[in-house]
Every structure is written in C-alpha cells, then in structure tokens.
Amino acid sequence: MTIDKSIPNATAKRLSIYYRTFKRFHAAKVEKASSKQIAEAIGIDSATVRRDFSYFGELGRRGFGYDVEKLMNFFAELLNDNAITSVALIGVGNLGSAMLNYKFHERNKMKIAMAFDIKGNPLVGTTTPEGTPIYDFADIKEKIAQTDIKTAIITVPSNNSQEVADELIRAGIKGILSFSPINLTLPKDVVVQYVDLTSELQTLLYFMRNNKG
Amino acid sequence: MTIDKSIPNATAKRLSIYYRTFKRFHAAKVEKASSKQIAEAIGIDSATVRRDFSYFGELGRRGFGYDVEKLMNFFAELLNDNAITSVALIGVGNLGSAMLNYKFHERNKMKIAMAFDIKGNPLVGTTTPEGTPIYDFADIKEKIAQTDIKTAIITVPSNNSQEVADELIRAGIKGILSFSPINLTLPKDVVVQYVDLTSELQTLLYFMRNNKG
C-alpha cells in the first residue's frame, strides 16, 4: 500500500493498538466510533487520534464517526494480518517458555514455528505440546534456511543477546523482537523492536507519581 | 519537580529510554552527547530528541552537546530511581516466573516483594530462591495492607485480568503493569501500562515491510 510511506513512525507504532481497538468495537457490534471514543478506549488524547487518522486517506475523514468495519479491515491489510507469519524464538527459559505458550496466533496470524537454545538446555531436541520443535542453536543457519522465516524473538540473557543477534543476521533474519535491555548493533536493513520491562515499569511509576492531584 | 507537569505524555514515555541511554554513555565514559548521537543510540530522529529535551529546562539547552552525567542524574531524579519501589506480582505461570527471575533491581531500585496465585498453583505457599514469598491470591488484601505496595504486575490469563484488577483496586493498588491484551476498566486515579506482545510483534513486522527499498 503506497499510503504506508507517509505514515510517521509515531503513528505507525499505534497501528496495532488501533487494530486491536477496532476489532474489539466490531466484536461489540459498534458500527461507528468517534475520535473521542477511540481515544478513551486506548487512553490517549483525541487530537492524537484525529492527527493519526488524517494519514489514512479517505477512511480517516469522517465527520460522523469512523466506520468500524472498514477501518478494522484497513488496519488488517496495513498490518498484513491476513498473511501467516512464522517466527523463530531464541532462548527457551521461563520467558521463552511463556512466549511458546502465548497465543499470538489465536487472534492473529503469527506463530512461533521453531525455537532454539544451547545444548545445555534439556528441552533442546524435544517438541512442545503444541508441536513446536526446539533445536540446538548451533544448527540455526541450516534450520532457518529450510524455511521462509525472517523474524526472530530473542529471550536469552542480556549478555548473550548481541552474539545471538549476530548469528541471526548470518542466518538471514531481518527483524528482531528483543527482550534484552541491551541496544543491539545491527545492519541498516535489519529492524529491531525492544520490549524493555524495566522501562515499562519505570514509565508506569512515573505516570503514577504525576497522576496525583 | 515542578518541571514534570509540562512534559507531554509522548516525551514522558521516552524518559526511561533516555535514562538508560545516558547511563550507558556514562559507563562508556562519554562526557558530552549530541542530539544526533542520542537519536542514533535509541533509533529515533534527532528532531524528536531536541524537541523532547526542550522540556528539560536549562539542561536541555546545550549547543555543544548535552552533559551526560548531569542529564543522567536529572533522569534518575525525574524517574525517582533513587527510591526503592516494591511491587506485587499476580500470576506465577511461565511469564510470572520469568518476571520473578528478571533483574529489575540489578540496575534499578525496583523489586517484586511478593507474588500471588490461586491455590491450585503448587508454588503457592513457597518462597523463590531469591526469597520472594508466593501467597494465595485470596489473601491479597490483607498481605498488601501490611506493606506500602501500590504497584502490581499482572501475568494471569487474559480472561481473568479484569477480575484480578478489580481485586487489586480493592487492595489499594494504584498502578498496574498488564501483560494481557484486554483493555482494563479502572478508576481514574489508577494508572495502567500495557505490554502487548502481539502488538509489539505486529509493529515489528510492519516496520520490516516498510524498511525495504
């Protein structure tokens, strides 16, 4: 979609939140939603919603509320939610196991197709109850080469995350979701998204202190 | 600090990222950092950095690079990182166990002081190797009342998250970090921060598609 090019990064980061919200409205049989309703459902201000929606062309220009079903389908297409995406998981400790159990694919077409860890992990060589194989990380290049996987989730200890990322690049991975607070050094054509739990908690505490009075 | 009031939400959400970046610069013995260096370290554009820093008063006005140590201390104070904050964890499955192992307090003064789950979880009544007690969720009001805990992390299945949140409110909790994709309905004086892993992965995939060419 050519429209993507003009969407600023800050707006792009909210697309999946809008998508989730419109799916929820649709499930609740809401047909039209105002910027105020959308803003309240998400917890941002309505001026931001209106500015974001001004980038969505025709669909974003609704004086009497936005059409829920049309926008839901628009976001699904924009986020490519109609295609199935397979990802690899690196690191099968507690967090990795949580990811393997996480229902990415119940509402969305994303699934962890294979997981990796070092040989010391007794889970290597086994298959999860859901059928996801857990391979030796030493074989990652060969295993990934047999698939069209371009995306990986890293749930390894922080001090291993850069070397794991380097190996993923060599295996052809182009996008990384990292749970490590370490900023990764990566080639320009590789995209990284960080989930930094300390930052999330710090941000929550900041808003708690500034919500008073 | 009176300065907080004028910081927009979007900037406030980046404070902990700036803090982390300046701590890293400081550890690497970098004394001055330009908006370009900061922007590149974080992966945002330098105009955003300059706009954000314009809210930080005197410290944000540096023509020859920002003073790393002063700004690191400024962010630490703004984020209250010199005070110890105890939080409660609700739900000790894989994700909750990962949170219990997560080193929030190694670099920051945040720690999970107690965890809760329903009686069916065999971990209830035990203590983690790090000394965190895991209590019956039925006792949460009484247990929280004996502490100054105002913050909770929810790692329970999505369809239980609203009822858990309701009970947390009754126990006096004022801030929630939720890993469930369900938007919680909460009183106005309660702050919530969502970590939605499906959204994070969707956003990564969107940026991967739009990074090409």
**ipTM of this complex > 0.90?**
no
Annotated domain spans of chain B = 9-78, 85-199
Q: What confidence tens digit (pLDDT) does each residue in A66-77 have?
A: 999 999 999 988
Query: Does B63 show up as a binding residue in the annotation?
Result: no
Concatenated DSSP letters of A66-124? EEHHHHHHHHHHHTTTTS-EEEEEE--SHHHHHHHHS-HHHHSSEEEEEEEE-TTSTTT
**B85-199 and B9-78 share a CATH fold:** no
d(Cα A18, Cα B166) in Å, to the nearest integer?
25
| CA distances in angstroms from A129 to A14, A88, A126, A134, listed in the order given | 34, 17, 10, 11
Query: Does B156 show up as a binding residue in the annotation?
Result: no
d(Cα A114, Cα A128) in Å, to the nearest integer?
10
Alpha carbon of B27: minimum distance to chain A alpha carbons (Å): 13
pLDDT of B164: 97
d(Cα A8, Cα A122) in Å, to the nearest integer?
45
Alpha carbon of B191: minimum distance to chain A alpha carbons (Å): 6
B15–A206 CB contact, under 8 Å = yes
Q: What confidence tier does B2 reach under pLDDT thresholds 50, 70, 90?
A: very low
A208–B175 CB contact, under 8 Å = yes
CB nearest to B177's CB, from A150, A192, A204? A204
Q: Which of A80, A174, A182, A208 to mutate to test the interface with B (most CBs of B within 10 A)?
A: A208
- Architecture per CATH, domain A9-78, reads as Orthogonal Bundle (1.10)
Q: What is the mean pLDDT of residues B35-47?
A: 83
Q: Which of A145-159, B59-73, B113-127 bottoms out in mean pLDDT, i.e. has the lowest? A: B59-73
Name the residue in chain B with its Cα closest to that of A192: B204
Question: By CB neighbour count within 10 A (0-12 exposed, 13-18 middle, 19+ buried), where does A71 fall?
Answer: buried
Asked whether the predicted pLDDT for residue A212 surpasses 50, the reply is: no
CATH of B85-199, one of 3.40.50.720, 3.40.190.10, 1.20.1250.20, 3.90.1170.40: 3.40.50.720
Long-range Cβ pairs for the range B29-36 (8 Å, 24+): B30/B68, B31/B67, B31/B68, B31/B69, B32/B62, B32/B64, B32/B65, B32/B66, B32/B67, B32/B68, B33/B65, B33/B66, B33/B68, B34/B65, B34/B66, B35/B66
Name the residue in chain A with its Cα closest to that of B11: A203
Q: What confidence tens digit (pLDDT) does each residue in B84-135 have?
A: 889 999 999 999 999 998 877 665 678 899 999 999 999 999 999 989 999 9
A191–B207 CB contact, under 8 Å = yes
